[in-house]
Structure 1
Amino acid sequence: MAAEKHLKRSVKSAVITVPAHFNNQQRQATKDAGRIAGLDVKRIINEPTAAALAYGLHSKSHSLSSATKNEDGSVKSNVVIFDLGGGTFDVSVLTLDGGVFEVKATGGDTHLGGEDFDNGIYEWCLEKITKEHGEKEADAIRASARASSRLRRAVESAKRTLSTVSNIEIEVDRLSSTVDFCETLTRTAFEELNGHLFQRCIDTVQSVLVDADCTLGDVTDVVLVGGSTRIPQLQKRLHELFDGRIELCKSVHPDEAVAIGAAVQGHILSTGAGGGGKDLDAASSTTDLLLLDVTPLSLGIELDGRLMSVLIKRNTSIPCRKTRTYTTVDDWQTEIDVVVYEGERPSIDANNQLGSFVISGVERARAGDPKVDVTFALDANGILNVSALDQVTGAEATAEIKAEQGRLSPQDIEQMIADAETYRAADVELVAKSEYKVALEEAFFTAQAKEGKNDEDELELADLMDWLELDSEGATLAEMQGKGRILEDKYGMIVAS
């Protein structure tokens, strides 16, 4: 909707980015969601890979002091994409050789993001409250959605500010009936609170480098992606990891890199080389870029003894196709259950089942004699198709990943598309509300920063913020506009979505 508003035309095709650690089912669910939204999903790509494309687009017109040059003059570099957002953390190692991006390895921590740094400060605040007002008061604040939300807002704001100043006062008036919270947090204290999180980030980088068969000395560039990479201590530790010889790349906007990369990939996939807009055209031609992504998890089938036989190893470049030959475990067996898994453990019990199917008509023979070829075909979106073929009888079967664990059947998809048409008017209202809420929040923060407010003004603005955080979801557009008029009439704000 926002893209259509900006472009002033309808959008029917899309490249969608996902966290690098997304599995097969999550990728398929994302593609299904795109189709339900009326989009032709041209490609699903990993977020760090998209960021690398944005970096590559930039580097085509900027010299890389740390990169090496091939005999033909093209640039070759080994790039670490460090992507730390609000709720996810991904690291990828890529080789950029001329215009070819090859992902060597990817990994991440599904339980690490900017919110974890917020949590460290949040718990520090509650400890301060416990010391001054008692554990009962701290528990009451933790249990109160309103109080907890207000404290977390202040904590997140403090974290952001500490990227540019050495200390910040965290102040929340009337946090509860007995608590007016005010404490000073220094950047040094923040770094001590979250030291273990910084170390987890560094450990992940080192682990992915090992997977990529790449040493610290081989790395030529480190690209920072995601708002949390603005934290100075994190940048310092990365700089020290590479012995200070690499300047961290900040030329690509950390909040926009993934979106820019998706746009580049869309341009590459489009039929015409032109029409990519001034930013794409400035890099001469994105058709000179070739992207070779990888699969984040190993893929295989169950063997006798509940073990997993891997056909496609983790970090294999995609698209790819792999075939292995299997046999029967019982005499005169004419059917074989093919159960498909993804994961890194030898036991299927620790891995994720994707689906299963049966191949019938297998050669009737002694155990070990029949030969059945199982083929895994992984497309450029990271979505898997599986088939099995008996070499003697010609019997064949194909995997159908059933509608389970987040997967949708074609009937489910069609029904959801029909529902989307039925509720289109309500959806338009929802979008309008969302856009107006963003404008309302921006006007609120501007009003909050104005000087000369009295206590009544401060209380009125605090109530408005609480309403935005806790009560606005169920409000109508008219009710939101009523709140906007308060800001317009009393504080001179212009609220326009």
Structure 2
Amino acid sequence: MTAIGIDLGTSYSCVAVFRNNRAEIIANDEGNRVTPSCVSFTDTERLIGDEAKSEESMNYANTLLQIKRLIGRTYDEEIVQKDLKLLGFEVLNKDNKPQIQVNYLNKVTTFYPEEVSAMVLTHLKEAAEAYIGSKVTDAVITVPAYFNDSQRKETKHAGEIAGFNVLQLLNEPTAAAIAYGIENEDEGARNILIFDLGGGTFDVTVMSIKNNVFEVKATGGDTHLGGEDLDNRMVDYFSKMFNEMHNVNMMNSKRALSRLRVACEAAKKKLSVATHAKIQIDGLYNGIDFKTTFSRATFENLNNYYFDKTIKTVEKTLTEAMLDKNKIDDVVLVGGSTRIPKIREMLQKFFSGKTLYKTINPDEAVALGAAAQAENLKLGKFILRDIVPLSLGVEVDGDFMSAVILKNTKIPTTRTINVTTARDDQTTLNISIYQGERAATIDNMFLGAFLLEGILPAPRGVASVELCFEIDSSGILDVSARDMKSGQKNKIIINDEKRLLAEKDIARMTADAEKFKQADEELRNQHKSKNELEDFALRTKQSAQDLYSDQKITKHEERHLVELCTETLTWLDLNKKANPAVLKQKKIELESIAHPIFSQLYLFDHTKTNLPKNSRENCAEFDNVEKFADADSIAATWSPSPNSSTDDSTTFSNSNNENRAGPSNWGNGRSTLRASLISTGQNEQESLKKVTSYDQVLKSLRQKLKNTNDEEEDF
């Protein structure tokens, strides 16, 4: 069955099919190759596309446009509230989700944004079926690269409402790159930059194309920047002009604003080919006519903020792709707004006069690429490697986001990490998912959460929960968790429409990640120091209990260590925000007490498993050494007698070598051992023989520990 590709745009949409070894644009029933993403309702019918667009100025309350800016968003978002002031139709708050109200067939009817988008998709589907001559159900639908998970999910839902089997949600700039690659398949390896500025969204993607492999290097953009924003600036400019000229306030008249918007859009298009455009509207407000001339220079000055923003995004995306602008072979223009002369001038200047790639129709490139990908999913003619636009992670320690899937990771992908409990005998684990580039969760966007129950009771830090993040080829996230011991499982598909990643959040995350880089690094260091102290205290406490059970340390030592570790963990619970320097000092204090107690084990137990075989055999002579000297006396500092032999002096000299590994008092243990042997009644010769063997063991031990110093320090 034939599959089609659809570019579902904010202002206009386009549909294409791949056949006869090439992608073809499908015209609508009026013969136009692009269709307005517009739906209008009257007392007698529903209009879609060009017919609906013609109703915009008169039937403004029932003509729905720019729906893509509402899909997957929440009603209370600042950018949504700002848009609502400029829209002619009524938008209600339904459980914090935008719901559109219209009068259809003399009845008040409401629709969710995805339902309206489904109407546009259905219109395109019917045009495709008429063109192909058969039923069409499979489609690849494109979305902006910076669409978040909720926006992608609702777009896919719209496709399903329209009767499509959505094969894939494809990023718009990636689709355009595929169209470019097909046009230039004989050019060899190339690095390209897709500059996609449409009616409502803006994307920049850097890609490499080699041997039929399309690999995305980096992507950037803004889900709320496009031609509609330029129109809004013009509407605001002219409405203020009209109010000042006639001492009125037309801002509360949706009819007047809708008519002015239509005129501004026409003037904007005119300025792409001329230096001046006229705006004439009869009876704009209170019967007052409005007539003015608008220059290209004024238009450019009015929207210079947006133009500069696009160039800064290009520069940042190239940095993330680790490519110099001189390494870009072609700059491909996509989207109707790239026809604006100022945009082209600034881009060409940024790329040192490079000729921009304008061979592909900017209105059609995305649909052509989507159609090619729909065919490729069946035949596998080329390989596509897309990426994640923003990092995804899980909340740990209550306020820290641990990134699981990093920004610019290739998709589809699966990443797994292990998390654990924070309290003793904890049987449930709340898993919160975030998206963003900051270290603290409060600075990132909350996507959703779920609860894993049935964890077997255990001391904190013991339970192990496997957390799996999976992103499919459409960029939709699926998170699952499994308790490794009990086998309990739970999962979530992030589609909570109440938790969205708005444009303001994306812009803030990107800017703040640079601005507060130092603060983020300090937070990461604090988190690292806290974890190191907690881990050391828990391991030391457990080791002390285990060693006492094996009768390798005394009850006094075990109790002392356990009390110290418990005090440290209690302090840590009360001082989670402590300075890294304080945390490190606490760890040093605990180490200074634990290490002398544990160090004896290197001589009388650990030596056997870490030294060469001959050294372990020598060490066997000292299995029962504790009956000659207690552990504390061996670890204690020993001051040799003035009558100590030359052998003793040599041993002390070696033990003080600055490059040795192990505690500084190990050499003193030699004299302690010798004195202990003599005190038990053994003669001088036998004692000296055993002490000589002790020397050999000690030297081997030092040499071994030199090579494993880093490994042993963790103990």
TM-score by length of 2: 0.50
Within the alignment, does 1:214 sit opposite 2:323 as a pair?
A: yes
Taking the TM superposition and a 5 Å limit, the aligned residue runs for 1:69-218 are 75-134=188-247, 136=248, 139-140=249-250, 142-177=251-286, 179-218=288-327
SS in 1 for 2:217: strand
Counterparts of 1:177 and 1:29 in 2: how far apart (Å)? Answer: 41
CA separation of 1:145/1:390 partners in 2, compared to 1, >3 Å: closer, same or farther? closer
2:384 corresponds to which letter in structure 1?
L
Partner of 1:263: 371
State whether residues 107 and 296 of structure 1, in contact with CA within 8 Å, keep that contact through their aligned partners in structure 2: yes
Do the aligned residues in 2 keep the contact of 1:76 with 1:95 (CA within 8 Å)?
yes
Tell me the CA shift for residue 145 of structure 1. Answer: 2.3
**Is 2:195 the partner of 1:60?**
no
Letter of the 2:368 partner, please give it.
Answer: I
Note closer, same or farther for the CA distance 1:130–1:177 as it changes in structure 2 (3 Å cut).
closer
- Measured on the aligned residues, the alpha-carbon RMSD in Å equals 2.0
1:398 aligns with 2:490: yes
1:335 aligns with 2:443: no
Q: 1:373 & 1:180 partners in 2: Cα distance?
A: 68
For residue 359 of structure 2, the aligned residue among 230, 233, 251 is 251
Q: What aligned pairs does 1:289-308 form with structure 2 within 5 A after superposition? A: 289-308=382-401
Matched, 1:356 2:455: no
Question: Given residue 418 of structure 2, which amino acid in structure 1 is its aligned partner?
Answer: T
Q: Which of 27, 31, 36 is the aligned partner of 2:156?
A: 31
The whole-number CA distance in structure 2 between the counterparts of 1:375 and 1:402 is 13
Offset of 1:363 from its aligned partner? 4.9
Helix, strand or coil: the match of 1:175? strand
2:225 counterpart of 1:225: no
CA distance in 1, matches of 2:200, 2:346: 20
Equivalent residue number for residue 173 of structure 2:
48
Q: Secondary structure at the match of 1:17?
A: strand
Show the counterpart of 1:452: none
Relative distance call for 1:354 and 1:119 in structure 2 (3 A) is closer
Q: Report what 1:319 is aligned to.
A: 412
Q: Tell me how far apart the structure 1 counterparts of residues 246 and 324 of structure 2 sit (CA, whole Å).
A: 52
Q: Which fold has the larger relative contact order, with Cα–Cα distance below 8 Å and residues 6 or more apart in sequence?
A: 1
> Equivalents in 2 of 1:84, 1:305: separation in Å?
39
Q: 1:130 to 1:325 in 2, by over 3 A?
A: same
In the TM superposition, 1:421-460 aligns within 5 A as none
> Which position in structure 2 is the counterpart of 1:374?
467
> Which residue does the alignment assign to 2:88?
none
Q: Report the CA distance between 1:49 and its aligned residue.
A: 0.8
Displacement after TM superposition at 1:153 (Å): 1.4
Q: Distance in 1 between matches of 2:451 and 2:398?
A: 18
Q: Secondary structure at the match of 2:492?
A: coil
In the aligned structure 1, how far is the partner of 2:183 from the partner of 2:498? 37
Taking a change above 3 Å as real, the CA distance of residues 177 and 367 of structure 1, as seen in their structure-2 partners, is closer
Superposed displacement of residue 261, structure 1:
0.8
CA distance in 2, matches of 1:161, 1:371: 64
Contact 1:355 1:399 in 2 (8 A): no
Cα separation, 2, equivalents of 1:233 and 1:108: 19
Contact kept? 2:150, 2:495, Cα under 8 Å = no
What is the CA deviation profile of residues 313-344 of structure 1, one whole-angstrom value per residue up to 9, with x for unaligned ones?
Answer: 11111011111122221122233222222223
Rounded to whole Å, the distance in 1 between the matches of 2:435 and 2:360 is 34
- Note if contact 2:479-2:493 (Cα within 8 Å) is conserved in structure 1: no
In 2, the alpha carbon distance for the partners of 1:122 and 1:32 equals: 33
Contact kept? 1:83, 1:226, Cα under 8 Å? yes
- Distance in 1, matches of 2:359 and 2:294, equals 30
Structure 1 residue 263: Cα displacement: 0.1
Residues 130/102 of structure 1: CA separation in 2 closer, same or farther (3 Å cut): same
Is the Cα contact below 8 Å between 2:477 and 2:494 reproduced in 1? no
Superposition deviation, residue 352 in structure 1: 3.2
Cα gap change, 1:169 to 1:326, in 2 (>3 Å): same
- Comparing 15-24 and 360-369, the one that deviates more: 360-369
Shift of 1:150: 1.9
The structural deviation recorded for 1:347 is: 2.6
CA distance in 1, matches of 2:134, 2:196: 32
Contact 2:456 2:486 in 1 (8 A): no
Task: Say if 2:480 and 2:492, in contact at 8 Å, map to a contact too.
Answer: no
Q: Secondary structure at the match of 2:301?
A: helix
Q: Contact 1:81–1:91 at 8 Å: present in 2 too? A: yes
Counterpart residue type for residue 358 of structure 2: K
Q: Which secondary structure state, in structure 1, belongs to the residue aligned with residue 496 of structure 2?
A: coil
Unaligned runs of at least 5 residues, structure 2: 1-125, 500-715
Q: Distance in 1 between matches of 2:232 and 2:492?
A: 42
> Matches of 1:123 and 1:78 in 2, distance apart?
40
Query: What are the Cα deviations for residues 343-372 of structure 1, in whole angstroms up to 9, with x where unaligned?
Result: 233232343333333334435432223332
Flag structure 1 segments of 5+ consecutive residues without an equivalent.
64-74, 274-286, 408-497
Q: Is the 8 A contact 1:338 1:357 kept in 2?
A: yes
1:160-200 CA distance string (max 9 Å, x none): 01111111222223323453222221111211111111101
Structure 1 residues 184 and 403: alpha-carbon distance in aligned structure 2, compared to 1, 3 A threshold: closer
User: Contact between 1:357 and 1:397, CA under 8 Å: does it hold in 2?
Assistant: no
Shift of 1:394: 5.1
Which AA in structure 1 matches 2:327? Answer: D
Deviation of the 1:147 alpha carbon: 2.2
Go from structure 1 to structure 2 and tell me whether the alpha carbon gap of 1:97 and 1:406 turns closer, same or farther (over 3 Å shift).
farther
Q: 1:350 to 1:5 in 2, by over 3 A?
A: farther
Contact residue 88 and residue 109 of structure 1 kept, 8 A: yes
Q: CA deviation at 1:131?
A: 4.2
CA-to-aligned-CA distance 1:268-307 (integer Å, 9 cap, x gap) = 012xx4xxxxxxxxxxxxx432111112221111112222
State the number of aligned residues: 374
Aligned partners of 2:489 and 2:478: how far apart in 1?
A: 11
Amino acid at match of 1:26: Q
Rounded to whole Å, the distance in 2 between the matches of 1:231 and 1:93 is: 22
Amino acid at match of 2:166: V
**1:239: Cα distance to partner?**
0.4
Kindly provide the amino acid, as one letter, of the partner of residue 202 in structure 1.
Answer: I
Given that 1:154 and 1:170 are in contact with CA atoms closer than 8 Å, whether structure 2 keeps it comes out as yes
Q: Structure 1 175/2 Cα, relative in aligned 2: closer, same or farther at 3 Å? A: same
The CA distance in 2 between the partners of 1:355 and 1:180, in whole Å, is 52
Return the letter of the residue paired with 1:125. F
2:237 and 2:426 map into 1 onto residues whose CA distance is 64
